Structure 1
Amino acid sequence: MSAESSKPVRCAIYTRKSTEHGLELEFNSLDAQREACEAYIKSQASQGWKVLPNRYDDPAFSGGNLARPALQQLLTDIDAGKVDVVVVYKIDRLTRSLADFAKLVEAFDAKSISFVAVTQQFNTTTSMGRLTLNVLLSFAQFERELSSERVRDKISASRRKGKWTGGTVPLGYRIKDKKLVVDPEEAETVRYIFKRYLDLKSFGRLVEDLDNKRIFTKRRETKVVKSQGGIPFTYGPLAYILKSRIYVGEIGHSGKWFDGEHEAIIDPAIFDQVQVQLATNGVERKFRRSESGALLMGKLYDDRGNRMSPSYSVKNGVRYRFYVSAALLRGRKSEAGSLARVSATLIETAVLDTIRQNAPADFEGTNSDVIDHTIERIRIGRERLAITFKETASTECATTVELPWSAIPSRNLTSIEEGYNSDRQPDQKLIETLARGYLWAGSLSDGTCTSIEQLAKSVRLHPNIIRQGLRAAFLAPDITEAILSGEQPGGLTSTRLLQIGELSWKKQREAFGAIRPD
């Protein structure tokens, strides 16, 4: 006998059961599968087959995917060269998916691993054997998909009858005899959430109120620590509760709602009032950069690492754009940075000015192109702004520029002497009007937009509003400086500023009640 033929063949037995039913028995399905495999291996003792002591058992795991701990351990041992033959009771114990089996065969072939199903004799070294294997797998996959369809049909029929068919148990209920029953303590929490939302009319104030009263999400017993609940509420869970018709005694399925067997917690009239308030407060917050003009989308972060997302508000027909910390949007104001909300026009202007001073002068393109190609990340605080430039051939590494910053610009500008109150603070709305006018004028002058109509479409405003806003870019320099330093003439408002009809700086000064010789 040669040395090669006397070498033992290491056999790994893999077993699997789809459900937990019967696993508590002293001799269960996994044991039966292993016993049959061991008997087959003993019949091949003359060929040197030996059973490995390691057990590769997957109890209560589906064969529809490869996400099984024992199977993954088996594949790891195969890669380590510890296995020569994989033995299973039936081929569907290994997998019920043709695609997954193709991956397993590829992994087996790469390590020259043989595969045996003890109740289904076939030889995979021949074309007929492979055909037989594929036919068996096709039927296994068909059986799995047929079972899934039956389960889905059963769930659908049960839901239409108002029965609870499993899933995450909502706050306010618990499971008894496979049915939803009201949990008195949690039900009071649900009623309080609905009532306080109608009182406060704001997710932000509601989150703060729940935090102060130490009201947390439903506590659950799960294997995954991250999913155990018992944490402070954020906007997402609150919105789910306030929109769920489960609390008015209904069960949902495929977008439709049916009368449920469980008891309602919320009066339908109160529920409808909440839906009206939610619809009233609904504001579109996410939109593409090209449509919103949010040049810094995806690049701006506060000084605690939270991404700043674009948002806006509309007042008197004028859109005011902002960047808001993600922590603030989630209702976690305490986790936001030192500057949780900033005017978009101010920060974008500051960034573009910094780029012009530090980026290569020969780079051409729109403002959006310039930011995309030069900026890696922007960190903003109440007093500091850090801009990280991308690595280039000339710099060979990313560079960061830090500079003083304030949400309300303070510049060493000459004030106008007559008609101005030096005790005033800068008017944020006036500054935003100026910044917006200069930004729009810049978009037209650098070719980002070729017409007022195109610019109006890009920022979703009427062209007349754009024409009106552009007037702020043609103010007399001393009036502009006075507004930035907070020394504008009394009675000058954003609305009045946009009503300017004169390009003559002298007439502008006369119109605003401050005459200064040219």
Structure 2
Amino acid sequence: MANDTKVLRCAIYTRKSTEHGLEQEFNSLDAQREACEAYIKSQAFQGWKALPQQYNDPAYSGGNLDRPALKRLLAEVVVGKIDVIVVYKIDRLTRSLADFAKLVEAFEARSVSFVAVTQQFNTTTSMGRLTLNVLLSFAQFERELSAERVRDKVAASRRKGKWTGGTVPLGYGTKDKKLVIDKSEAETVRTIFKLYLDLGSFSKLVAELDRRKIVTKRRNTKVAKYRGGIPFTYGPLAHLLKNRIYVGETHHGGKWFTGEHDAILDQSTFDRVQELLKSNTVKRRLKFSQSGALLQGKLFDDNGNRMGPSFSSKNGVRYRFYVSTAMRGRPHKAGTVSRISAPEVENLVKAAAEERGIPIDQIVKVTVSAACIRVDAGNIKRKQRTIDIPWSPKPKGVATITRAPDHADEKLVKSLVRAHAWLADLTAGRYACVEDLAAAANINPKVVRQGLRLAFLPPELTMSVLNGKATMALKDIPKTLPLPWAVQRAMIGYSSIECYGTSGPLMVISLDPG
């Protein structure tokens, strides 16, 4: 008589919260799987059969569903490859009531059963579901209680000045779970603080640190982006200069406590740096508040980046602008217009608003693109009020370039030639990567990457530079450039560039990104 029992495909899921014991030949995951396999064999008369695939999540918390093996298991459920999910205990699957509700809903939608071999219940009845919820409530309570105990222990240790782990700052190492001074790095920290007091600004400090090849702390980690050893930027530099750990204190819950570790800086030096930081911050705020920026906080480019007020001075004349915040470190994310004259956009918006009887302070948002300026005046009489002002960036004449055309920028010429030589070396395979080339030239890889951008400038500008007739300086070219030439020309900040030959202008290249 043929056996008509339907085969039920059983997937075994195992999880362990920590790495402790995983190195053992027979660890917790193996024990869980062995127990589940034994249970499946006991149900063989009902057609249960264990799948060979293993769904193991070692060192993953049960507090969320962000686990690789669990995601793979759920994907198999969706495509109908699993009939029964078997776990050792219910908290191996999840410790969250909310997550469990989602899982049960997903299982029921695919007619997938769920079994915990050490906790007998039936999810098809109301009593079985109540039992599950009670068990999960205790599992979640246990997880939250453990987390509270850890937080309390960390807080108590920090109040006593102990190091409880985390990112080790530049200037220190760890020994016996305590911070100890790294002499060479400590000297680097003192140098950075002294240079900031001498130079008085972040921009000058960053340039000087690059010149001295001073970089962030190098770390031994498997993840490349966390290894450090890269040039300082404004954010990490500001964090370092404000870090009270250098005067022998530890931080917790917004408060600082006397630490067990030795200080790298004296209190006087640290206090003077904090005063200078505060003074520079106040000055920047005053500049912005005195700039008369009518659209401050309301102006955006067409990629959604806020455009903040800025200004430049030339021959005693002050020029106001709005500049996309993406231009500071992320120029490739800027909109089609990354910089616009403040008086121009303010006058256009004011005129359009006054013409329609809209108070200027009622304007909610202004978006600038290469085609138009869109003004959002919010809800007026329960109707959305939007004004589109036709507009395109005005071409700037050659007069906006301050250098005379018969004076070539030697730095730009040398940098351009060097960039093409570097590109040729990399293309020919003489160096495997930028890091190898930088090591051979004894310079920082960041310098090479920024220098290589010059090898991808528009050809007509490249020829004009090499001929020594370009009305362009190295400082006029942003440190980061996208590949499209039209976008490059717009980012350089000029609407037109005249390229000069031996007998006068050769051509005029329009820089309108449209």
Output the TM-score relative to the length of structure 2: 0.65
Q: Which moved more, 1:361-370 or 1:219-228?
A: 361-370
- Alpha-carbon shift at residue 292 of structure 1 (Å): 6.4
Matching residue of 2:29 = 30
Confirm or deny that 1:293 pairs with 2:294. Answer: yes
Verify the 8 A CA contact 2:372 2:389 in the aligned structure 1: yes
Q: Which residue identity lines up with residue 392 of structure 2 in the other structure?
A: E
2:12 equivalent in structure 1: 13
Q: Is the 8 A contact 1:301 1:325 kept in 2?
A: no
1:14 is matched by which residue type in structure 2? Y
Partner of 2:83: 84
Q: Which residue of 2 aligns with 1:345?
A: 343
Q: Distance in 1 between matches of 2:46 and 2:226?
A: 50
Which runs of structure 2 are paired with 1:155-170 in the superposition (5 Å)? 155-170=154-169
Match of residue 409 from structure 2: none
Equivalent position of 1:209 in the other structure: 208
Change (3 A) 1:9 1:229: same
2-side partners of 1:365 and 1:244: how far apart? 48
Stretch moving more, 399-408 or 124-133 = 399-408
Which residue does the alignment assign to 1:149?
148
Is the contact made by 2:299 and 2:367 (CA closer than 8 Å) also made in structure 1? no
Matched AA of 2:295: A
TM-aligned CA distance change 1:364 to 1:91, over 3 Å: farther
Q: Which residue of 2 aligns with 1:174?
A: 173
Query: Structure 2: where are the runs of 5+ without partners?
Result: 313-317, 376-387, 401-514
Instruction: Give the 5 Å matches for 1:373-452.
Output: 376-378=367-369, 386-388=370-372, 402-406=392-396
Q: Give the C-alpha shift of residue 257 in structure 1.
A: 1.3
Is the Cα contact below 8 Å between 2:301 and 2:324 reproduced in 1? Answer: no
Unaligned runs of 5+ in 1: 314-318, 379-385, 392-397, 411-518
Q: Secondary structure at the match of 1:166?
A: coil
CA contact (8 A) 2:294 2:346 kept: no
Supply the AA of the counterpart residue of 1:249: G
Number of residue equivalences: 380
The DSSP-based 3-state class of the residue aligned with 1:121 is coil
**Contact 2:97–2:133 (Cα < 8 Å) also in 1:** yes
Distance 1:311 1:248 in 2: 36
Match of 1:232 in 2: 231
Match in the other structure for 2:447: none
Structure with greater Cα Rg:
1
- From the superposition, tell whether residues 297 and 167 of structure 1 become closer, same or farther in structure 2 (CA, over 3 Å): same
Secondary structure in structure 2 of the residue aligned to 1:282: helix
Structure 1's 333 and 260: CA in aligned 2 closer, same or farther, altered over 3 A?
A: farther
CA shift at 1:167, angstroms?
0.9
Deviation at 1:362, TM superposition (A): 9.3
1:331-355 alpha-carbon deviations (Å, 9 max, x no partner):
x999999998765334433x549x9
Q: Which residue of 1 aligns with 2:73?
A: 74
1:140 aligns with 139
Q: Is 1:47 the counterpart of 2:43 in the alignment?
A: no
2-side partners of 1:328 and 1:376: how far apart?
A: 16
Q: Is the 8 Å Cα contact of residues 89 and 119 (structure 1) preserved in structure 2? A: yes
2:275 aligns to what? 276
TM-score (norm 1): 0.64
Aligned to 1:106: 105
- After superposition, the Cα gap between the structure-2 partners of 1:171 and 1:333, relative to the gap in structure 1 and judged at 3 Å, is farther
Q: After TM superposition, what 4+ stretches of structure 1 lie above 4 angstroms from structure 2? A: 284-288, 319-322, 327-330, 332-343, 361-364, 366-372, 388-391, 398-401, 405-410
Query: Structure 1, residues 160-208: CA drift from partner, whole Å, max 9, x if none?
Result: 1211111111111122222212222222221111111111111121112
Measure how far apart 1:295 and its partner are: 5.9
The offset of 1:144, in angstroms, is: 0.5
Deviation at 1:64, TM superposition (A): 0.8
Alpha-carbon distance in structure 2 between the residues aligned to 1:143 and 1:235: 42
Q: Secondary structure at the match of 2:156?
A: helix
Other structure's SS at 2:60 match = coil
In 1, Cα distance between equivalents of 2:35 and 2:46: 18
Output one character per residue of 1:410-450: Cα deviation in whole Å (capped at 9) or x when no partner.
9xxxxxxxxxxxxxxxxxxxxxxxxxxxxxxxxxxxxxxxx
Q: Supply the distance in 2 between the matched residues of 1:368 and 1:146 (Cα, whole angstroms).
A: 51
Name 1:309's counterpart in structure 2.
Answer: 308
Contact in 1 for aligned 2:301/2:335 (Cα 8 Å): no
**Partner Cα separation in structure 2 for residue 400 and residue 224 of structure 1:** 49
Shift, 1:279, TM fit: 1.1
Partners of 1:390 and 1:8 in 2: CA distance? 64
Indicate the residue corresponding to 1:414 in structure 2: none
Tell me if the contact between 2:11 and 2:86 (Cα under 8 Å) persists in the aligned partners. yes
- Mapped contact 1:108–1:114 kept (Cα < 8 A): yes
Q: Which amino acid aligns with 2:300?
A: K
Three-state SS of the structure 1 residue aligned to 2:392 is strand
Q: Is the 8 A contact 2:301 2:367 kept in 1?
A: no
Q: Percent identity?
A: 64
Which amino acid is 2:161 matched to? G
Name 2:260's counterpart in structure 1. Answer: 261
Tell me, in whole angstroms, the C-alpha distance in 2 between the residues paired with 1:321 and 1:257.
Answer: 41
> C-alpha displacement at 1:310, in angstroms?
3.6
Separation of aligned partners in 1, 2:367 and 2:339 = 21
| CA separation of 1:49 and 1:99: change in aligned 2, threshold 3 A | same
The question of whether the paired residues in 1 share the 8 Å contact of 2:301 and 2:337 is answered with: no
CA contact (8 A) 2:18 2:58 kept: yes
